[in-house]
Amino acid sequence: MINTLLETSPNWVLLLMRVLAGAVLLPYGLKKIGWLKGPRANAFGKMREMGVLPILAWLITIAQTLGAIAMISGFLVRVAAAGNFIIMFGAMFYHIKDGWSMNWYGEKKGEGIEYFVMLLAILWVIILEGGGTFSIDLLLLNR
């Protein structure tokens, strides 16, 4: 079972995908716990205002923060990607009412789903293929 979770190949593309996905996701988690300022700095509070249950808001926050760190470091990459896939899938459905395109010119109330679709595709590849080269998973698998 654990070997299935760790299984990957020494692939540079997977390294790039997981590190970039982790780097993109990390600020979302850090903002929720108050470590970063800027837009959506109180995202945890915003989730609560939207009616998200406190336990679910905490699970999302933990999965985004620790999951991003896990993907960057290459540790249990598939688990981290799967958790964030579920979160981004839910976020996509929240934003689907805003259409496809991002709100580049401030003409809409919210953002579209193109960002989520792209991130979901990247996370799906990581779930299927693992963390690639320079991952803790690959190191543990080869022990």
- Whether 131 shows a pLDDT value over 80: the answer reads yes
pLDDT band at 41 (very low <50, low <70, confident <90, very high): low
Report pLDDT for 38: 64
Helix (H) or strand (E) holding 28: helix 12-32
Range of the domain at 105: 2-141
User: What residue type is 111 in one-letter code?
Assistant: E
Higher pLDDT: 111 or 36? It is 111
Please check whether residue 80 is in contact with residue 70, taking contact to mean a CB–CB distance below 8 angstroms: yes
- Whether 49 shows a pLDDT value over 90: the answer reads no
* Mean pLDDT over the full length of the chain: 89
Count the domains in the chain: 1
The 10s digit of each residue's pLDDT in 50-71 is: 888 889 989 999 999 999 999 9
